[in-house]
Amino acid sequence: MNVLNVLYAAFLGIVEGITEWLPISSTGHMILVNEFFSGADAFFRTDVFLYVIQLGAILAIVTMYFKKLNPFALSKSREEKQDTWQMWFKVIIACLPAAIIGLLLNDFMENFENPWVISATLILYGVGFILAERRQKPAQVTSIKDLSYKTAILIGAFQVLSIIPGTSRSGATILGAIILGCSRGIAAEFSFFLAVPVMFGVSALKLVTNDYAMNSAEWVLLAVAMVVAYVVSMLAVKLLTGYVKKHDFKVFGWYRIILAIFVLLYFSIQMFGLI
């Protein structure tokens, strides 16, 4: 097996683990990284790799929040178990818009996986975060228990926007939750929980519908990327949850804008044959 491919798979695992949970677009970053390293194996640009690698990141959430996500935990009281079921009902309801619209538009949106669309959405949601933080009022929802079903499905409507490359699933849901009156911590946490069924569903869909037949070496590369994404995701989630306790999301808005400008400059210069 090519050692460089293993190292590149690990590198993409790091990118996935960091960007999946920060509101900066993991898929957008993965596509851009593959554009910059265009000489890498074509397998790293397939849908089956770009989406199934997310299973490593989602397993990190399941591990970290297992007790909170588990309605059967013996250590929970009857009321706590009921609250957990209520949380899952809110998650499922919030996933419905993405499940319906995402399935309908899945193949069509793949036509927009290019640096120009990604740059535009990076800027759009970067500005959105900056404006939302500047205008934010005191949070009305400070726990998932306080989150109404109406707010949950509206957050789910924001999640639909993530089918556009460069948007960021976590970015769309966190921004939507903040606009709808959720605290930053609850916005981030609910976004994590929404990811569990959504990302499992998307990964399963790509495995079932994709006609790319992986060989044994590619399965190993995917496994390497997923394991690295799992470990790095744990660190990224801890970083984000700790960060939002004391800071706002404007820094991620500025990051998105700066990255988009860099990408536009790079690919504009490349288009005119200057590099």
Mean predicted confidence (pLDDT) in 56-72: 94
Count of Cβ atoms closer than 10 Å to residue 193 Cβ: 21
C-alpha 41/C-alpha 44 separation (Å) is 6
Predicted pLDDT of residue 11: 95
Predicted pLDDT of residue 98: 82
Read off the tokens for 226: 């997923």
Query: Helix, strand or coil for residue 23?
Result: coil
44-73: string of b/e by CB count within 10 Å (b at 16+)?
Answer: bbbbbbbbbbbbbbbbbbeebeeebbeeee
Predicted pLDDT of residue 262: 87
Per-residue pLDDT tens digits for 1-24: 688 999 999 999 999 999 989 998
Average pLDDT, rounded, for the chain = 88
C-alpha 31/C-alpha 114 separation (Å) is 8
Mean predicted confidence (pLDDT) in 271-275: 66
Paired residues of 182 in beta bridges: 141
Predicted TM-score of the model (pTM) = 0.86
- Whether residue 17 contacts residue 233, with contact meaning beta carbons closer than 8 Å, is answered with yes
| Between 28 and 142, the higher pLDDT residue | 142
55 CB-near residues (< 8 Å, 6+ apart): 199, 200, 203, 226
250 CB-near residues (< 8 Å, 6+ apart): 129, 130, 133, 134
Predicted pLDDT of residue 1: 65
Predicted pLDDT of residue 28: 77
Phi, psi angles (nearest 5°) of residue 182: -85, 150
Predicted pLDDT of residue 274: 61
Residue 92 has pLDDT above 80, yes or no: yes
Residue 38 has pLDDT above 80, yes or no: no
